[in-house]
Amino acid sequence: EPEVTQTPSHQVTQMGQEVILRCVPISNHLYFYWYRQILGQKVEFLVSFYNNEISEKSEIFDDQFSVERPDGSNFTLKIRSTKLEDSAMYFCASSEYVGATNEQFFGPGTRLTVL
């Protein structure tokens, strides 16, 4: 069964460093998402992406964040200068279409630890 994959599973970085989190969505999916979950808190939407541009973003997704689909398979989230409060689990998701009848499939997540 096709699945969303994410690398690395755990990333440790120093405050102020740039990190890139990578995701490979399901191959025929057209819509891509990033969510994050700070430990013990709820899952929060960051950004959605379609047709090589951001379709929606939350207030969390400030200028320190960017997303890219550099090739036909990867979808990346870059944090330019990490802060302690960026420590969280980051989930990538993809869907074939928009609309709730089309399930958003989630990856296993990348745990980001900022020291």
Partner 1 sequence: AQTVTQSQPEMSVQEAETVTLSCTYDTSENNYYLFWYKQPPSRQMILVIRQEAYKQQNATENRFSVNFQKAAKSFSLKISDSQLGDTAMYFCAWYGGATNKLIFGTGTLLAVQP
The smaller minimum CB distance to partner 1, of residues 90 and 114, is found at 90
Residues in contact with partner 1, shown as a per-residue x/- string from 82 to 101 under the rule CB under 8 A: -------x-x-x----x-xx
Structure tokens at 64: 């320190």
Q: Does residue number 24 form part of the binding site for partner 1 (CB under 8 A)?
A: no
Q: Does residue number 45 form part of the binding site for partner 1 (CB under 8 A)?
A: yes
Burial status of residue 82 (CB atoms within 10 A of its CB: 0-12, 13-18, 19 or more)? buried
**d(Cα 25, Cα 71) in Å, to the nearest integer?**
12
Contact 47, 57 (CB under 8 A): yes
Out of 27, 28, 39, 42, the only residue in the binding site for partner 1 (CB under 8 A) is 42
**d(Cα 109, Cα 8) in Å, to the nearest integer?**
9
**Which chain residues interact with partner 1 by CB under 8 A?**
31, 33, 35, 41-45, 48, 55-56, 58, 89, 91, 93, 98, 100-101, 103-104, 106-109
